[in-house]
A and B are shown apart, each in its own frame.
Chain A
Amino acid sequence: MKIPILEEIKISTLEMSELRALFSKFKVGNNPCYTDLTNLSADRLLEVTTVLELVLNEMNISPKFPYPYYLITPHLDINTFFPLLRSFESIPNYFKIEGKRVTNKEQKILDKIEVICSQIQNQEVQARLEEYRMSILPQKFIKALAKEGMYLEKVLKQLSGEK
């Protein structure tokens, strides 16, 4: 495995077989990547992300974990499972490092990272995240109930204290 360094993927076609080959070439999921889609309108962007989602789902790759695949666009409100960013500068500097020759010691760590990454990819990451999102939905309801309880306590305290 190479050191994971941010790479740009330039998409010139929406043909699924070519996209699959492109994603395999850039090792999406094993390497942080980004695609600049700033020149696309919101409708066109939605079409493109739909196709990209289909390809990644087919390849069982999550665009978030272990390595992100960012899309750069000014339309951040569209509904997609890709991490969207407004500009290249918004990408975390953590991934913007220079590629260097690795020593034996570093190679060992990279091998470990590769094993852990494959463990992550063996899980159904997207499904897990969706399940998690659904399981934490009642939290908002709990918050509202707790808030109501506190208000009622206050009212009761005032009523019994006023006598």
Chain B
Amino acid sequence: MNKKTKLNLTGKMKEELKGFEDLIEGFLDEQEEQKIKSQLSNDRNYDSFKNYNHLELERERVQKLSSMISRKIPNVIEHNMSGNIVEKLTSYNYNIKEEIVDEVKKFDSIFNKNIRVLFNKAFRVK
């Protein structure tokens, strides 16, 4: 584990640096990161681990591709539910439309009220 470097500061210095804590912390973190990177690049095993890891990822990727092409896509094509869903949604929408028309047709519906007002205004006997 990496230990963060701690600065030994006197009380006076701490007071002077008040408000800059975040900035200093960010700077120290950055330095720490660079140090780790340089350590990794010096490590002889790092490259081989990197290579091995890449190949493992590649194997997983190719395996997933293979299962997608040989199993998943044929499954989706064979058990395609689109037709049934379209049928269900169409009949559902048709039923709702009928309900809407029934609502509108009622004597005290908003539509009829508005039509009544319109007609009464337009064709009033003077």
The interface residues of chain A, by DSSP majority, are classed as helix
Q: Are A105 and B52 in contact (CB under 8 A)?
A: yes
Contact with A along B59-94 (1 / 0, CB 8 A): 100110110011001101100101101100110110
Q: Which of A111-154 contact B (CB under 8 A)?
A: 112-113, 116-117, 119-120, 123, 125, 128-129, 131-132, 135-136, 138-139, 141-142, 145-146, 148-149, 152-153
Return chain A residues, CB-CB under 8 Å to B97.
152
A132 to B68, CA, bound (A): 11
Query: Which positions in A face B, CB cutoff 8 Å?
Result: 3-4, 65-66, 97, 100, 102-103, 105-106, 109-110, 112-113, 116-117, 119-120, 123, 125, 128-129, 131-132, 135-136, 138-139, 141-142, 145-146, 148-149, 152-153, 155-156, 159-160, 162-163
Query: Which positions in B face A, CB cutoff 8 Å?
Result: 47-48, 51-52, 54-56, 58-59, 62-63, 65-66, 69-70, 73-74, 76-77, 80, 82-83, 85-86, 89-90, 92-93, 96-97, 99-100, 103-104, 108-110
Q: Are B55 and A149 in contact (CB under 8 A)?
A: no
Please, which residue of chain A has its CB at the minimum distance from the CB of B48?
A103
A106 to chain B, nearest CB (A): 5
- Out of B70, B89, B96, B108, which one reaches A153, CB within 8 Å? B96
Return chain A residues, CB-CB under 8 Å to B65.
65-66, 120
The interface residues of chain B, by DSSP majority, are classed as helix
Return chain A residues, CB-CB under 8 Å to B47.
100
Return chain A residues, CB-CB under 8 Å to B54.
3, 97
B50 to chain A, nearest CB (A): 9
A113 to B90, CA, bound (A): 47
A65 to B74, CA, bound (A): 16
